Amino acid sequence: MSSSKEPPRGDGLSVSRRGFLTSMGLGAVGVALPEITPATGPEIVPAGDVTRIALRINGRTHPALVEPRWSLLHVLRAEVGLTAAKEGCGRGECGACTVLVDDQPRYACLTLAVEAEGAEITTAEGLMEGEELGPTQQAFAETDAFQCGYCTPGQVMATEALLRANPHPSPEDIRGGVSGNLCRCGAYENIFRAVERAAELRSGGAS
């Protein structure tokens, strides 16, 4: 009658099939899992850590405590209280958050607040002349260049940037200047008219 035990090995030790397979499995795991060393890289700033900055907005300096990851749009709206710039897409596609940084149009949703320190930031609120609309804003009102109005502050700021760089734009210049701003209502024809009218008003045209 055969025995279930393995025959003895030459060294006097016996190993069952189960023991052999178990020991081989553990050995394979030992080979497959080498010692892991911690990765090194840039220091990660913990969420909640803040830094003190000073932003120059519409001619005034605004000190603020910000997290390094906060966007300029968030700081303008939530920390400074300037809400003309709107969040539309949050990823630099619609232009509703457009502001001027050193007279250049920038998507505030893609600009870190800490990046903007030391620059001159202009929002739609900064185009007002006291309680009166500025020329670019007035042009949009005169030509009815909006429907829902959500994109209008961004359209105004894109127009302002264009006219500061080119006071007498051609139709092609106008299309290029506002091409980064979307109007979901499709009021583009009147927006183009508003840019032309804004150029007139800024150059002293009849009101």
Comparing 156 with 2, the larger pLDDT belongs to 156
**162-176 in b/e burial notation, b at 16+ Cβ within 10 A?**
bbeeeeebeeebbee
Residue 28: predicted pLDDT = 47
Contact 96, 85 (CB under 8 A): yes
Burial of 188 (0-12, 13-18, 19+ CB in 10 A): middle
* Chain segment 168-200, per-residue pLDDT in tens: 999 999 999 999 999 999 999 999 999 999 999
What residues form DSSP beta bridges with 54?
Answer: 63
Contact 101, 56 (CB under 8 A): no
* Average pLDDT, integer, range 44-65: 89
Comparing 44 with 51, the larger pLDDT belongs to 51
Host H or E run for residue 147: none
Q: Per the structure block, which two tokens stand in for 179?
A: 């091409």
Is 7's pLDDT higher than 50? no
Residue 204: predicted pLDDT = 85
Comparing 30 with 108, the larger pLDDT belongs to 108
| pTM metric for this prediction | 0.76
Is 38's pLDDT higher than 80? no
User: What gap in Å lies between CA 169 and CA 19, rounded to an integer?
Assistant: 85
User: What gap in Å lies between CA 31 and CA 117, rounded to an integer?
Assistant: 53
Contact 170, 186 (CB under 8 A): no
Q: How big is the chain by its Cα radius of gyration, in Å?
A: 32
Is 21's pLDDT higher than 60? no
Map out the domains of the chain with their CATH numbers.
51-202 (3.10.20.30)
Q: How many residues does the chain have?
A: 207
* Chain segment 81-131, per-residue pLDDT in tens: 999 999 999 999 999 999 999 999 999 999 999 999 999 999 999 999 999
SS3 content of the chain, % helix, strand, coil (to 5): 35, 15, 50
Residue 36: band (very low, low, confident or very high) from pLDDT cuts 50, 70, 90:
very low
Is 60's pLDDT higher than 80? yes
Q: Residue 168: which residues within 8 A CB-CB, separation 6 or more?
A: 199, 203
Strands 51-57 and 120-122: parallel
Mean pLDDT score across all residues of the chain: 86
